[in-house]
């Protein structure tokens, strides 16, 4: 069975279908309705590098749907440390589970695992490569706020060079005709190959270092963490980090329905003063990870989601 390795594995129609499934599953994700669609199924969580939200939201998604989860556990105490290849690890877990969610520090690991496995692989991040389940929850959050995805104006800000989240999301947004504004320090610009790839798909892409000046017409401002370790010079880091620290006072001129998103964890790039504004969506976004992953688990396991979900409370 095919998994989800990159967003190219889904057509726009399939994306919208899955987002519709996710919408219907909201009461299940909130624990208001118990719907054991995945009872008897086992998810293998293989996180070869640290993850909080992705791993936990996969686990929550599976359990809310009545399924079970087994975890690789700490890589330091697993057979990986003894030198086991990814191929062998996958062969083993493939026999234990019905579906695998995986994060790995090496790029291409998810496709590699899919080629080795019989069960579907859900890519939870491979190096600086792809993170499609994050993209699905991001798209869900945007659609929830604006009612659609088409033709929106989206500012992506911060570390655009190393962030796999923004790479996957940019490709998906362009498929829905969104205009993209990349706001980043020069050192952390979106890789040239990605910008040219997006433009070759007809995208309207603007690059700037001025975050605040680019927000006035935006429908979405997607912030990312600027990582200190990327800078050789501490002063340079301080200067850049300061230019990408969103505060409530920066939001006075923005559109009423503009939303601020962040894949979390944040450090200083969104001041807590933004949390209380109508624009903040990052905590809902994190919650949406559960509902988006529920919809994906069902889809990849071939379990249809009822058109209307009702049922007894817990």
Partner 1 sequence: MRRVTAIRNGTVIDHIPSGQAMRVLEMLGIGASTAVPVSLVMNVPSKKMGSKDIIKVEDRELNQSELDRLALVAPDAHVAIIRAYSVAEKLTINLGQEVVNVVRCTFSNCITTNLREPQPHRLKVVQRDPLQLRCHYCGRPQNLSELANNVL
Contacting residues toward partner 1, per CB under 8 A: 6, 83, 85-87, 104-109, 111-112, 115-116, 126-130, 193
Place of tokens 């491979």: 126
Helix (H) or strand (E) holding 141: helix 132-146
Q: Which residue has the tokens 């962030």?
A: 163
- Of 19 and 101, nearer to partner 1 (C-beta) is 101
For the bound state, the minimum distance from the C-beta of residue 87 to partner 1, rounded and expressed in Å, comes to 5
Q: Is 103 a catalytic residue?
A: yes
Find tokens 């409370």 and name the residue: 313
Output 64 or 175, the one with its CB closest to partner 1: 175
Identify whether 54 is a catalytic site residue: yes
146 is catalytic: no
Closest CA to 150 of 173, 168, 180, 171: 173
Active-site residue, from 6, 54, 60, 224: 54
DSSP class of residue 78 equals S
Q: How far is CA 149 from the centre of its chain?
A: 16
Based on CB atoms, which residue is closest to partner 1, 42 or 116?
116
Closest to partner 1 by CB, 90 or 142:
90
- Distance in angstroms (rounded) separating the CA atoms of residues 210 and 47: 36
Structure-token match 């520090």, residue found = 105
- Among 41, 55, 64, 131, the active-site one is 131
Minimum CB separation of residue 273 from partner 1 in Å reads 38
C-beta of 16 vs 86, nearer to partner 1: 86
Q: Provide the minimum distance between the beta carbon of 232 and partner 1 in the complex, in angstroms, as a whole number.
A: 20
The candidate with the shortest Cα–Cα distance to 159, out of 5, 49, 269, is: 269
The Cα–Cα gap between 22 and 50 comes to 26
Catalytic residue among 41, 55, 64, 103: 103
The tokens describing 5, both together, are 């390795």
Which of 41, 53, 225, 262 is the catalytic position?
Answer: 53
**Alpha carbons 247 and 50: distance in angstroms, whole number:** 29
Alpha carbon distance 211, 221 (integer Å)? 9
Residue 130 Cβ, how far from partner 1 at the closest point, in Å? 8
For this structure, is 249 an active site residue? no
Give yes or no for a contact between 180 and 206, defined as CB atoms under 8 angstroms apart.
yes
- Report the residue number, 44 or 129, with the smaller CB distance to partner 1: 129
Q: Please report how close the Cβ of residue 103 comes to partner 1 at its closest, in angstroms.
A: 13
CB of 69 to partner 1, least distance (A): 24
Q: Are 128 and 187 in contact (CB under 8 A)?
A: no
Active-site positions? 53-54, 82, 103, 131
């Amino acid at each position: 069975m095919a998994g989800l390795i990159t967003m190219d594995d889904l057509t726009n129609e399939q994306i919208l279908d899955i987002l519709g499934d996710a919408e219907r599953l909201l009461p299940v994700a909130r624990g208001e309705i118990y719907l054991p669609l995945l009872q008897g199924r086992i998810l293998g969580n293989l996180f070869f590098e640290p993850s909080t939200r992705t791993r936990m939201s996969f686990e929550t998604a599976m359990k809310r749907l009545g399924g079970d989860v087994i975890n690789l556990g700490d890589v330091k105490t697993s057979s990986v440390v003894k030198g086991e290849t990814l191929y062998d690890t996958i062969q083993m877990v493939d026999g234990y589970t019905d579906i695998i969610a995986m994060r790995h520090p090496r790029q291409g690991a998810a496709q590699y695992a899919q080629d080795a496995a019989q069960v579907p692989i859900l890519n939870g991040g491979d190096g600086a490569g792809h993170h499609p389940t994050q993209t699905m929850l991001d798209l869900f959050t945007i659609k929830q706020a604006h009612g659609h995805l088409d033709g929106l104006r989206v500012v992506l800000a911060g570390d655009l060079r190393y962030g796999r989240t923004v790479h996957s999301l940019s490709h998906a947004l362009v498929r829905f005709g969104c205009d993209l504004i990349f706001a980043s320090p020069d050192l952390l610009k979106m890789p040239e190959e990605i910008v040219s790839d997006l433009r070759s798909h007809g995208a309207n892409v603007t690059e700037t270092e001025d975050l605040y000046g680019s927000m006035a017409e935006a429908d979405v401002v997607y912030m990312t963490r600027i990582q200190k370790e990327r800078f050789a010079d501490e002063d340079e880091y301080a200067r850049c980090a300061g230019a990408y620290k969103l505060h409530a006072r920066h939001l006075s001129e923005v559109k009423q329905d503009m939303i601020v998103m962040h894949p979390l964890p944040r450090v200083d790039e969104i001041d807590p003063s933004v949390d209380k504004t109508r624009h903040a969506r990052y905590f809902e976004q994190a919650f949406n990870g559960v509902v988006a992953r529920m919809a994906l688990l069902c889809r990849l396991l071939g379990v249809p989601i009822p058109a209307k979900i009702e049922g007894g409370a817990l």
